[in-house]
Amino acid sequence: MRQWNTIVLLLLAAAAVLLLWKEWRRVPQKRRWLRLWCTVLALAGFGGLAIPVHYTVNKTAMGKALLLTDGYDEDSLQALLKANNGVKIYKWNKGEVVPANIQIIHLLGYGLLPDELQQLPPAQCVFHPATPVAGIGAVSWLPQLTEGNRLQVQGAVTGNANQPLQLLLQMGSTLLDSLTLAPGIRQFTLGTVPRHLGNAVYTLTLLQAKDTLEQQPVAVTVQQAPRLKVLLLASSPDFENKFLAGWLGRNGHTVFIRTAISKEKYHTSFLNTPAVSLDRLNNILLDSIDVCIADAAALQAMPASEITTLQAQVTAKGMGMIIRSDTAYNKTAFYQQPFIVQPSTEVTPQELLLRDENNAVTAALTTTQQSYLQASEWMQPLVQNNQRKSLAAAALLGSGKLVYTTLNNSYSWLLAAHEADYAAYWTGLLQQAARKRETAEQWQVLPALPLVRHAVRLVINAAVPPQIQVGAAAIALAQNPQLPYLYEGSYWPAAAGWQAGIGTHGDTHWWYAYALQDWLNVQRQQRLIATRDFCRLQQNAAVTATQQQPEQQELSPWYAAVVLLLACTVLWIERKLAYT
């Protein structure tokens, strides 16, 4: 196009020089300036026909539109139609697109998701939200669990003002947990410890009297817990160590047990491993140990050389330690320094709050609680009682972690048939303390509830550029410029259900894509929040933008044709008059 314009301009310039020179020399010379100006206008008109002419205007408004989404109120629609005569209606669910030249969009209903809002033109947005109905408006759980961890489903309901509601967590027809919400109560927490490995879809049901308001899928993947090598050091035989060793062995962990019987005399036993010498702790043995569990008295009685070896393993090589509190207390020891122990004389059954990702609550545990841990900036609480006093906590030490616990009768859970609570407690401590193993890739799927036929963000944490795919589709990844170990790509699942993400080394990372009718009330709440925030930003940005918005417009070629016709007519009349 630019080349065509150049050719036309050169031809017009040459024609102008020739025609103006001829008019200047023409005899008779009456009305010479009229002929010159008409020649210029004729050439300009011809050029306007050959080359489109554009000009800039400042526009202040170009119209309104009504965009209807799911749940819009008919009364609000009629009021807007009455106030805006002739305004056009667009229905999002029917795929109707709002034109780019619209300046004000009245958006009715529950709104749109963030990726859908980006498809709207840059117009001022006025939101007319729908009224939420009774249902589950917010929900969260960890979709990836490790064996022994508790599945905890938390959330809030909407529209719970007049009648009680009941929530059921089920696996198939088996009821795992239930809760009744009194009128006005919004938050809920349900939980269970999965008994399976791999993928499973639980069901969360919301009931009002005998009516089922919602029945939603809760997809969870349970990964096998890593089999650890555990060194158990005891100052004397006791029930806590006996039950702990048995539980570790039954769950496939390798256990080395050393129990003191006199000064530097030990009884040793082994589970899931051949016998080795434990008379002296050395680096050859400890290099293979993931976590060392010891009571404070056993550590107090150990030779200084073994304490030095343990400290070096934790600080330099990342081995974890779990220290069980007792009467022996050495505040200068490396394992004691991050933790300040406070005495207590409470003897009461108490529910314990496990400070993991779920904040799971255990069954009540009757304990002669001799001490608590004083809160400090150096430690992370892991287990607390109802008064938020810490019974177990973790602290970093070099490359490894120290975990300190004041509970010495957790075996009471097993005696009371609360094995799930016992497993959750010790699984949490072991996962916090154990030597960290390098993983090739870590996957994160966003949003938390991926929807079919919507964009899903896949964030990969990897040391080297990964090559991944979902099913048979390869995913293009972009490296994060600020965090170079993060890579991100997008995928649009075509069908609901489990999606197999395949990593660089062929390992499978499962995640679930929910159907469009799943978690409708949660989607509606997300749409309401996203649309409200979007319209607030758009309104602030559009107020100034629409005051004077420059726009390029093309001049109608009819104007050029009229100028050319008039100029040629004048030249023709003048020539007739000159020769009359």
Q: Do 102 and 177 fall within a single domain?
A: no
Report the domain count for the chain.
5
Q: Do 351 and 482 fall within a single domain?
A: no
Please give the angle made by the CA atoms of 201, 216 and 494, to the nearest 5 degrees: 70
pLDDT surpassing 50 at residue 378 = yes
**How many other β-carbons are positioned within 10 Å of the β-carbon of residue 276?**
11
pLDDT surpassing 90 at residue 269 = yes
231 or 437, which is more confident: 231
The reported pLDDT for the residue numbered 351 is 66
Q: Do 95 and 212 fall within a single domain?
A: no
Estimate the crossing angle of helix 2-25 against helix 32-50, to 10 degrees.
170
pLDDT digits (tens, 9 = 90+) for 4-26: 777 777 777 887 777 777 777 77
Residue 172 Rama label (left phi>0; alpha psi -120 to 50; beta):
left
49 or 423, which is more confident: 423
Percent of the chain with pLDDT over 70: 90
Give mean pLDDT, residues 440-456.
Answer: 91
Q: Alpha helices, DSSP H only, in 454-518? A: none
Q: Do 264 and 323 fall within a single domain?
A: yes
One DSSP character per residue, 526-568 reads HHHHHHHHHHHHHHHHHHHHTTSEEEEEEPPHHHHHHHHHHHH
Q: What is the mean pLDDT of the chain?
A: 85
How many Å apart are CA 44 and CA 568, to the nearest integer? 12
Q: Please say which residue of 204, 224, 244 terminates a domain.
A: 224
pLDDT surpassing 90 at residue 517 = yes
Tokens for 173, please give them: 């027809």
The reported pLDDT for the residue numbered 550 is 60
pLDDT surpassing 50 at residue 547 = no
Q: Do 464 and 533 fall within a single domain?
A: yes
Q: Do 161 and 274 fall within a single domain?
A: no
β-sheet bridge partners, residue 205: 168, 215
**Residues near 160 by beta carbon (within 8 Å), at least 6 away in sequence:** 134, 181, 183, 184, 185, 186
Q: Which of 91, 415, 362 is nearest to 242 (CA)?
A: 415
The reported pLDDT for the residue numbered 214 is 93
How many Å apart are CA 68 and CA 109, to the nearest integer? 6
82 or 257, which is more confident: 257
**How many other β-carbons are positioned within 10 Å of the β-carbon of residue 532?**
14
Q: Of 88-102, 107-121, 278-292, 434-448, where does the model show the most confidence? A: 278-292
Q: Do 177 and 213 fall within a single domain?
A: yes
β-bridge pairing 360-361 and 400-405 = unpaired
444 touches 331 (CB < 8 A): no
Amino acid at 402: L
Structure letter (DSSP) for residue 139: E
Q: How confident is the model at residue 27 (pLDDT cuts 50, 70, 90)?
A: low
516 touches 103 (CB < 8 A): no
The reported pLDDT for the residue numbered 548 is 46
- Helix or strand run (H / E) with residue 47: helix 32-50
Q: Do 390 and 407 fall within a single domain?
A: yes
Question: What phi and psi values does residue 195 have, to the nearest 5 degrees?
Answer: -100, 5
Q: Do 308 and 385 fall within a single domain?
A: yes
- Of 365-374, 417-426, 466-475, 490-499, give the lowest mean pLDDT range: 365-374
Domain around 151: 140-224
How many Å apart are CA 445 and CA 511, to the nearest integer? 8
The reported pLDDT for the residue numbered 189 is 92
CATH number of domain containing 82 = 3.40.50
Structure letter (DSSP) for residue 513: E
How many Å apart are CA 359 and CA 353, to the nearest integer? 6
How many Å apart are CA 296 and CA 323, to the nearest integer? 6
Structure letter (DSSP) for residue 514: B
**How many other β-carbons are positioned within 10 Å of the β-carbon of residue 67?**
24
Edge-first strand order for the sheet with 187-192 is 135-140, 151-158, 187-192
Q: Please say which residue of 387, 416, 433 terminates a domain.
A: 433
Q: Do 371 and 479 fall within a single domain?
A: no
The reported pLDDT for the residue numbered 545 is 42
Q: Do 474 and 343 fall within a single domain?
A: no
Amino acid at 303: P
CATH number of domain containing 403 = 3.40.50.880
Edge-first strand order for the sheet with 174-181 is 144-146, 211-223, 198-208, 165-171, 174-181
Q: Which of 254, 260, 262, 247 is nearest to 285 (CA)?
A: 254
232 touches 257 (CB < 8 A): yes
How many Å apart are CA 235 and CA 129, to the nearest integer? 66
Give mean pLDDT, residues 483-499.
Answer: 94
How many Å apart are CA 395 and CA 403, to the nearest integer? 6
Tokens for 77, please give them: 């629609």
Q: How confident is the model at residue 546 (pLDDT cuts 50, 70, 90)?
A: very low
321 touches 402 (CB < 8 A): yes
Q: Do 152 and 25 fall within a single domain?
A: no
CATH number of domain containing 456 = 2.60.40
- Record the pTM: 0.69
Give mean pLDDT, residues 479-487.
Answer: 92
